[in-house]
Structure 1
Amino acid sequence: MPPPLATHLIRTGALSPAREPTPWNAPLPAPAPAASWGGAEHPAGLTRVTGPFSATAAVALATTWSIMRTGRKNRAMNRIITALRASTSTAGRPATPAEASEAVLAVRRTAWQAPVRTACLEESAAATFLLATRRLSVVWCHGIAADPVRLHAWAQTVDGGLVAEPPSTRAYTPALTIGARHQHRL
């Protein structure tokens, strides 16, 4: 027997009694993906990164943060895009997967210990800037995934390989790429 409140709500029409699911009102079988901010997928703070990029990763992150926070807040993305286009235009050669991975991991390790918010946008931009200081190029991507709508930024090699990213990044469709081969003048 339903509780008295439920009986009252059913009688008044505020609540309809439970019924068998039909094809048009059955729940969808696909579960929503769990929320993630990269901490579980990228344990960068637990890995030691040494190499040519570890010393300058902090400078690249500081540059990214200053670009984003100088000026009007609603123009921060435009400033980052302009800076990324300028930095990738000076690249001499594509970064190897190992060089690109070293740069991304060095930025993540530095960001792990930083006192300010650092997410995929800041990390990927800083890694792109870091590689550009050595005249190396990667493709910076900003993409979207649906159901639920999510945004993500990442770096990939010029030939399309993901750089220090989990395979789940392939769920994102790039909406903006900077540094791709077709964008460089030869």
Structure 2
Amino acid sequence: MPPPLAARLIRTGALSPAREPAPWGAPLPAPTPSASWGGAEHSAGLIRATGPFSATAAVALAATWSVTRVGGKGRAMNRLITALQASTSATCRPASPAEASEAVLAVRRAAWHAPVRTACLEESAAATFLLSTRRLSVVWCHGIAADPVRLHAWVQTVDGGLVAEPPSTRAYTPALTIGARHQHHP
């Protein structure tokens, strides 16, 4: 008589009994998903840095880099989380989808001229900081997708809408979200 777990697996068809031990069959082939570093699905090319948020976007990027690079490297994410929490706590109203998108795109335009790394983490944090200077809130998300394991950071509107992100971002499960959940006050 097999142990209870094995018996249950045999009953459900997840396990097949064998008279003698045998090697496992070869794994089934599957296409390897391409790696995503947050910006792989955005078109590349030199973008003219103009628009109402451009100068402020550069300052928001500089603030993001300062927060993550001043101090010990091992605590950079903790400092960024603390700064995001502080900035979102001072917001007055949710950003509209258009306002949020404008901020994200302004940060992306400014990032093309930056001499340092700007990927999804820096981009999304800078957009959140940028909006908070106008006292507008969004939800900053840091999530994970499996097989292969990938991390991504992005911005959502307060009602959960993706901001300037491809639909494939929905494959990520938010592990951390930061941002005020506002009640609309007249």
Cα distance change on mapping 1:97 and 1:28 into 2, 3 Å? farther
Which ranges of structure 2 fall in alignment gaps of 5 or more residues? 1-23
> Contact (CA 8 Å) 1:32, 1:147: kept in 2 or not?
no
Q: Which residue of 2 aligns with 1:136?
A: 136
Aligned partners of 2:49 and 2:115: how far apart in 1? 19
Which ranges of structure 1 fall in alignment gaps of 5 or more residues? 1-23
Cα distance change on mapping 1:37 and 1:50 into 2, 3 Å? same
Q: Which residue of 1 aligns with 2:42?
A: 42
State the shift of 1:50 in Å. 4.0
Cα distance change on mapping 1:43 and 1:168 into 2, 3 Å? same
Q: Which residue of 1 aligns with 2:75?
A: 75
State the shift of 1:57 in Å. 0.5
> Contact (CA 8 Å) 1:141, 1:178: kept in 2 or not?
yes
1:110 maps to 2:110: yes
State the shift of 1:74 in Å. 0.2
State the shift of 1:109 in Å. 1.0
State the shift of 1:125 in Å. 0.2
If the length of structure 2 is used for normalisation, what is the TM-score?
0.80
Q: Which residue of 1 aligns with 2:119?
A: 119
State the shift of 1:25 in Å. 2.6
Cα distance change on mapping 1:66 and 1:131 into 2, 3 Å? same
1:114 aligned counterpart, secondary structure: coil
State the shift of 1:159 in Å. 0.6
RMSD between aligned residues: 2.0
> Contact (CA 8 Å) 1:53, 1:102: kept in 2 or not?
yes
If the length of structure 1 is used for normalisation, what is the TM-score?
0.80
1:169 maps to 2:169: yes
State the shift of 1:55 in Å. 1.9
Output the amino acid matched with 2:138.
V
Output the amino acid matched with 1:62.
A
Between the two proteins, the alignment pairs up a number of residues equal to: 161
User: What is the aligned-residue identity percentage?
Assistant: 85
